[in-house]
Structure 1
Amino acid sequence: MSTPPFVVFSDLDGTLLDHEDYTWTAALPALAKLRAHGVPVVLASSKTAPEIAPLREQLRLTHCPAIVENGAGILPPGTAPDTSNAAYLRLRRILDAMPPGLRRHFEGFGDWSADEVAERTGLPPEDARLARQRGFSEPGVWTGPAELRSRFLAQLEAEGVSARLGGRFLTLSFGGTKADRMAEVLEGYALGGAPPPAVALGDAPNDVEMLNAADHGVIVANPHGSELPVLAGERAGRIRRSTKPGPAGWNEMILRLVSELTARSGD
C-alpha cells in the first residue's frame, strides 16, 4: 500500500448527490478517473453511518472511511455501522429538558416518524428509516422567531451542544466538524510520512471548515440554497466554484483537478 496522490473529501446532498433525486450518475466519469489513479473518495455528510454504508458500497468506496453526521463520527473502511447511540440519547435528553417555550419551536428527526422524515427530505421510506438511526446528532428545523432561536442556541451551548446549519437542516451535536475528521483521515493515509493533499467539495455552511482546511476546495453550485459568501481560500486561489450544480458540477471540477494534480506529480 502506498500513499495516494491526494484524497477527495465530498459532501453528499447537493454535491455528489443530486438535490432532488439523490442520484450521482452525472459524476460517474470523474469517479472512474479517481479510481484509475488510486485516489480515495471519503464521503463526508450529515447522513448517519447506516445511511452511508450502503451508499458507500454502491459507489464502490467500501475501502475508504466515511465521515458521518457532520463530523461527529467516522465509519471505518470495510466495516458495518456501530449501532450504539449513547451520545444521541444524551443529546435528546438535553433537548427535551429545555423550557417548553423554546423546545416546541424545534422539531428534529427524533420527533418525526420515518414517513415524516421521508416527506421532509424526499428520501425513500427505507432510507428515511436509516436516517432516524442516529448515533451522534439531531437534524431538525427551527419554526420560531429569530430572537427565541438565539436563546435556544445559547442554552444548548451552555450544555455543550453546538448547532450547525446545513443545506436543509439545523443540526445539533456535541461538536466535531468535517474538517476535524478530515485531518484524522489524512493522517491514516500518511503511512509514516507527510499526509497527502486534500481536495474537498461541498455546497453548504457546514462544509466551510472542510473547504478552508483542504489544499484544494470546490464550492459546488447549489441553486436550492443560499450562496456561500466568498471564502478566504478563494482569494488565495485554493478554493474555486463550479458552474454546474450537484453531481454535474462535482464531475466538472474533479476532472479538472485530476488533470492539474496528476500533471504536477508526473503521474
Structure 2
Amino acid sequence: MRADLTEFLLQERLPEQYRQQIQAYFIPFINEVLPRIRAGDLRVLGIHGAQGSGKSTLAAFFQWYLQREHGMTVAVVSIDDFYLRRAERQDLAAKVHPLLLTRGVPGSHDLPLAEQTLAALLTLKSGQSVDLPRFDKACDDRAQRIAWPRISGPVDLIIFEGWCLGAAPCEESALATPVNALEAEEDPDGVWRAYVNAALAGEYRRLFAKIDYLLMLAAPSFDCVQGWRLEQEQKLAATLDVAAPALMDAVAIERFIQHYERITRQCLQYLPFQADCVMTMAADRRISAVGYLQRGNDHARQSLVFTDLDGTLLDHDNYSFSAATQALARLADLGVAWILNTSKTQAELHKLAAQLKNPYPFIIENGAAVVVPAGCDLLADVDLSTVNGLRVKEFAPRRDEVLTLLRAWRAQGGYQFSGFADFDAPTLCNITGLSLGEAELALQREYSEPICWEDTDERWQEFAGLLAAEGLQALKGGRFIHIMGTADKGQAMAWLASCLYPIGPAPQLIALGDSGNDVAMLERADIAVVVRSPHHLPPQIAAPQGELRITEGFGPVGWNEALIDIFGAGD
C-alpha cells in the first residue's frame, strides 16, 4: 500500500481507533465502488449524514486514499459550500420568514452555483481548472474567492457531502404539528417549514438527482446529534487563532440544531431503505455495521421482506432458526429490511426480535397491530397510539371484547372448544413444546384468542356464523384457530410498507408463510413464498397478486432456500 494511514490520521488529528474504522469499513467500501468509478458509471458520490456524523472527515479520507493509492483526481464539495451569502439570507428573512437567516435548511443554498460547479467538474478536461466555492462558517458568509481551492481536470470522482442529501419533502399535513420548541414558538403559522418543504419538493430534487451513488452515515437517533454538533463547533474553534463571533456555545447549538430536526428525523426514518450503502453508527460515532442495498443483484434494491415465524422461519417442532442463518446474513449484508409478521404476542416478539437481531417494527397476532420497538426511529412521523409506553397501530378490537363473546357463546350454545384463556403456562407447554417462560409470554395476548376446536364440523359452521355476525373471523394457524377482528397479515403488511416508503416507487414485497393465516399476506405480495411444512399441506393461494413460489425444504430450510434464490448467495 502506497498510502500510509498514519499520515492521514495526523493530518486530520484523528485518534488511532479511526485506523480500525478505515481498515474494517472505509477501504472495503472503496473497493466495492472502485470498478464503477473506473468505468465512469460513478461520477458523483453523495455522502449523507446528520450534523457532526463525520461526513467531512470521511470525504477527506476517500479523497486522500484514492489519490495516494489509485492516482485519481478527486474533488470534494459540501452542500455547506453553497450557502447563500449572509446579505442574501437577510433579504430572504425579511421577505419570507426570519428563520431563513440561519444557514443550512433547504432554501438557504445557492443552487444555481451548486449545479454550475458540479457541471464544470463533470466536464473538466486536461489543462482546464475550476475554483471550488467555500463558505466561512466562522464569519457566517461565503469565503472570498481567493480562498477557494483550485482543481485541475480531468476529475475522476466528485464527492458531494451534506446533511440533507437525498432528503425528500414530507406530506403537507405532517407540517401542521411542530416537532420542537423552535417550530412551535418561532414558526407558529408554519410559513418557514412550508417554505423549506417546498424547496425540497422542487429545485433540491433536481440537484440530488445528479448523485450517482448515495452513502448514508446513519446516526442511532436524533438525540445524538446535538452532542456531535457541539464537538464539531469545538473542533472548528480549536483551528482558529482568535474567537470568531459566529461560533456557538452549547445553548446556541441546542437551538441551532432544532432548525434541522424535522428533516433529520425524516431521513433517519426513510433513507436507510433508499441509500445505496448505509453505514450504521453507534453513539460514539464508530461504524457498527454496513449494508449495501445494491450489490450484484437488482432484487436487493427496495425490497421489503415480511415473514411468518412458527413453521416458516422457526422450526415447527423446536423453534430453531439455525437453518436460516445464511439467508439472514445475506439480508443483513444487502441491508434489506425484513419484518416479522406473526400470530405471536408482543411480549414474545420483543424477545425473539432481540435473538434474531431484527431492529424493525413488527406485526403481532395475525395483523392485529404493528408495534414500533423502543429505540426504533422508524414511523416517527406517523400518527400512532401509545400502548404500554410503545407506539402502536391497531387494526383489531382488544382481546377482552373477543373473550366476552366466546364465553357467552360457549355458555349459551354449549360449543366445545378450549382457548388460551383456559390454559396455564404448563398446559400450553405440553401442547406446543414451548419452554415455561416462552409459554408465559405466549399467553399475554392483547387482540386475539387462539382456540382448539373440539366439536363437530356441523357445529363449527354454526359457530362461524356467530363470528361473522359480530365482525370476527377465524384464522387457521399451524396449531390453533385464532379468533379475532377482521384484520389480517396482508392489511398490516400493506400499511407498514406504505409508511416505510411514502414517496418514490413502491418496494418489492416478498412474503413467506406456511399456514392459512398467512394467505392474506401471501396474496398481496409481489413474490409469495409458501414454505412447506412436514405437518400439514400448503395453504391454497387463490388470488396471488404476484409471483407464487413453493419451497422444496421444510420450515427454516425452505425459508433459507427461497431467499438465497431471490437475493443470491453473495461472495
TM-score (norm 2): 0.43
Please state if 1:88 is matched with 2:399. Answer: yes
User: Hey, what does 2:332 align to over in structure 1?
Assistant: 35
**What do the CA deviations read for 1:119-148 (whole angstroms, capped 9, x no partner)?**
111111111001111110001111001111
Task: Give the letter for the 1:44 counterpart.
Answer: N
User: Hey, what does 1:205 align to over in structure 2?
Assistant: 516
- C-alpha deviation, 1:79, in angstroms: 5.9
Please state if 1:12 is matched with 2:323. Answer: no
Please state if 1:193 is matched with 2:463. Answer: no
Which of 551, 556, 559 is matched with 1:250 structurally? Answer: 559
Matches within 5 A, 1:47-58: 47-58=344-355
Task: Give the letter for the 1:193 counterpart.
Answer: G
- C-alpha deviation, 1:191, in angstroms: 4.1
CA distance in 2, matches of 1:79, 1:108: 34
- C-alpha deviation, 1:259, in angstroms: 2.8
Structure 1 contact 3–191 (Cα < 8 Å) conserved = no
Please state if 1:67 is matched with 2:363. Answer: yes
**What do the CA deviations read for 1:22-78 (whole angstroms, capped 9, x no partner)?**
00001011001001111111011100010111101111112x111100001111143
Structure 2 contact 409–415 (Cα < 8 Å) conserved = no
CA distance in 1, matches of 2:552, 2:326: 17
> Matched residue of 1:13: which SS?
coil
**What do the CA deviations read for 1:176-217 (whole angstroms, capped 9, x no partner)?**
110000011111221422321110000001111111100101
- C-alpha deviation, 1:90, in angstroms: 1.3
Structure 1 contact 242–253 (Cα < 8 Å) conserved = yes
> Matched residue of 2:398: which SS?
helix
User: Hey, what does 1:134 align to over in structure 2?
Assistant: 445
User: Hey, what does 1:21 align to over in structure 2?
Assistant: 318
Matches within 5 A, 1:109-258: 109-229=420-540, 231-233=542-544, 238-258=547-567
CA distance in 1, matches of 2:473, 2:375: 28
Structure 2 contact 475–482 (Cα < 8 Å) conserved = yes
**What do the CA deviations read for 1:56-107 (whole angstroms, capped 9, x no partner)?**
1111112x11110000111114369945997111111111111536454121
Structure 1 contact 162–173 (Cα < 8 Å) conserved = yes
- C-alpha deviation, 1:150, in angstroms: 0.9
Q: Cα–Cα, structure 1 residues 134 and 237, in superposed 2: closer, same or farther, change >3 Å?
A: closer
> Matched residue of 2:305: which SS?
strand
Structure 1 contact 83–135 (Cα < 8 Å) conserved = no
CA distance in 2, matches of 1:56, 1:6: 20
CA distance in 1, matches of 2:513, 2:413: 31
Structure 2 contact 313–559 (Cα < 8 Å) conserved = yes
CA distance in 2, matches of 1:103, 1:208: 31
CA distance in 2, matches of 1:76, 1:150: 37
Structure 2 contact 402–484 (Cα < 8 Å) conserved = yes
Q: Cα–Cα, structure 1 residues 122 and 82, in superposed 2: closer, same or farther, change >3 Å?
A: farther
Q: Cα–Cα, structure 1 residues 79 and 45, in superposed 2: closer, same or farther, change >3 Å?
A: farther
> Matched residue of 1:152: which SS?
helix
Task: Give the letter for the 2:483 counterpart.
Answer: L
Aligned length: 258
CA distance in 1, matches of 2:415, 2:315: 32
- C-alpha deviation, 1:229, in angstroms: 3.1
Structure 1 contact 102–148 (Cα < 8 Å) conserved = no
Q: Cα–Cα, structure 1 residues 31 and 117, in superposed 2: closer, same or farther, change >3 Å?
A: same
- C-alpha deviation, 1:175, in angstroms: 1.6
CA distance in 1, matches of 2:418, 2:529: 31
Percent identical: 36
Which moves more between the two structures, 177-186 or 86-95? 86-95
CA distance in 2, matches of 1:74, 1:209: 16
- C-alpha deviation, 1:156, in angstroms: 2.0
Structure 1 contact 72–176 (Cα < 8 Å) conserved = yes
Which moves more between the two structures, 99-108 or 81-90? 81-90
CA distance in 1, matches of 2:558, 2:331: 15
Q: Work out which of the two has the higher radius of gyration on C-alpha atoms and give 1 or 2.
A: 2
Q: Cα–Cα, structure 1 residues 138 and 230, in superposed 2: closer, same or farther, change >3 Å?
A: closer
Task: Give the letter for the 2:516 counterpart.
Answer: P
TM-score (norm 1): 0.90
User: Hey, what does 1:265 align to over in structure 2?
Assistant: none
CA distance in 2, matches of 1:257, 1:98: 47
> Matched residue of 2:350: which SS?
helix
Q: Cα–Cα, structure 1 residues 118 and 102, in superposed 2: closer, same or farther, change >3 Å?
A: farther
- C-alpha deviation, 1:155, in angstroms: 1.1
> Matched residue of 1:30: which SS?
helix
Q: Cα–Cα, structure 1 residues 86 and 189, in superposed 2: closer, same or farther, change >3 Å?
A: closer
Q: Which runs of 5+ in 1 are unaligned?
A: 263-267
CA distance in 2, matches of 1:46, 1:193: 31
- C-alpha deviation, 1:14, in angstroms: 0.5
Q: Cα–Cα, structure 1 residues 230 and 135, in superposed 2: closer, same or farther, change >3 Å?
A: closer
Task: Give the letter for the 1:39 counterpart.
Answer: V
Q: Cα–Cα, structure 1 residues 118 and 175, in superposed 2: closer, same or farther, change >3 Å?
A: same
Q: Cα–Cα, structure 1 residues 255 and 58, in superposed 2: closer, same or farther, change >3 Å?
A: same
Q: Cα–Cα, structure 1 residues 180 and 97, in superposed 2: closer, same or farther, change >3 Å?
A: same
CA distance in 2, matches of 1:30, 1:103: 48
